[in-house]
Amino acid sequence: MEDETYAKELDVAVKAVHMACSLCRRVQHGLISRTSDEIKSKDDDSPVTVADWGVQATVSWLLSEVFGSQSVSIVAEEDVQALSESDSAGLLAAVVDAVNGCLDEAPNFGLQKPDKHLTTQEVLEAIKRCNSTGGPEGRHWVLDPVDGTLGFVRGNQYAVALALIEDGKVIIGVLGCPNYPMKREWLNYHHQYYQSTSPATDDSWEKGCVLYARRGSGKAWLQPLLRGDVNFESQYEARLIRVSSVDDPALATFCEPVEKANSNQSYAAGLAHSVGLRKQPLRVYSMVKYAAIARGDAEVFMKFARCGYKEKIWDHAAGVVIVQEAGGVVTDAGGKPLDFSRGIYLEGLDRGIIVCCGATLHERIVGAVYASWDSSNL
């Protein structure tokens, strides 16, 4: 693969995610500072915010403008049903305002802004355009506008994830982590307490980054989060990141989901103990776990879904390619690569997902899964 292959796609995707993070930060600040009318409950009880729809509309509009709305296929999490209800006029107006405010800043991120503000109908159409179901053929953008919505509404960790899948393979991954601190020791799900007690001038709480990678390049990159009110060319350059070199389980840090609803933490804890992982698990919302592995801040991420839960491609695609290009290993619990070619779900997933900084730890964990599975409670 030549260096310039997918260069335009990667450039636009990175800028779009920086813009999406800027939108999210503004909305999150508003949610934390007041009781929110901007949260709507979906059928599965996960809260959906102005940021979810705002990011989806913004990214959809940007991709369609650059690559043509007729040729862009987008797989994304949200639909417009809840926004179209009669009691949602205020919510919809907030989404439209958020989208237009974000797109106004597009030139500062190196992208074109609309000639005039988008109408309510244009925003709804941009959200509705994200109706692809992916599949084994063709090119599909995959977007999770706010991954870790609970973390988002609690002022905690969340991510904006955008990936490009071509013929079933993840080609590009971009992961925006607006609350990811620049120093690892602050990556803790109690971080709101630490943030409130740390001095405002303390650089250790400098936070927000975008990670990205292109399949086959052998490189993954990190940029501090760009600001929408400053031209992007005057801001920070990207730097290369690599996974940790730790291969001793006793020294390894293990990530797991905060929420227990769709994850079997007791099995993961038993597995961690059996392979010699002794450190307290790092419980983090969202795909920030993939970022932690790629940046070298943690060594292992395991997720074993509870019976009946099906993993969705937008929860993993961007993170997988970033970890792999940073030197890590990602498979299902049987050691097979994840299959992104079969629609919106990771069909055929063997028991769970294992993400490691290297082959040594990965092989030990896969072996432990095989040794312990029959006696587990999954």
Annotated binding site for Mg(2+): 77, 144, 147, 315
Active site residue 11: no
Q: Which amino acid is at 356?
A: C
Q: Are 175 and 319 in contact (CB under 8 A)?
A: yes
Q: Are 291 and 177 in contact (CB under 8 A)?
A: yes
Q: Which of 49, 52, 253, 331 is catalytic?
A: 52
Q: 153-166 burial, b for 16+ CB within 10 Å, e for fewer?
A: bbbbbbbbbbbbbe
**What's the length of the chain?**
378
Q: Are 210 and 316 in contact (CB under 8 A)?
A: no
Q: Are 16 and 172 in contact (CB under 8 A)?
A: no
Residues paired with 368 in a beta bridge: none
Q: Residue 277 to residues 17, 345, 353: CA-CA distances in angstroms?
A: 34, 30, 17
Q: Are 303 and 267 in contact (CB under 8 A)?
A: no
Annotated binding residues:
77, 144, 147, 315
In whole angstroms, what is the distance from residue 135 CA to residue 73 CA? 11
Cα 88 to chain centroid distance, Å, stands at 27
In whole angstroms, what is the distance from residue 33 CA to residue 40 CA? 18
Query: In what side-by-side order are the strands of the sheet with 329-332?
Result: 282-283, 254-256, 300-303, 353-356, 329-332
Q: Are 123 and 111 in contact (CB under 8 A)?
A: no
Q: Which of 43, 97, 133, 149 is catalytic?
A: 149
Active site residue 52: yes
Catalytic site residues? 52, 149
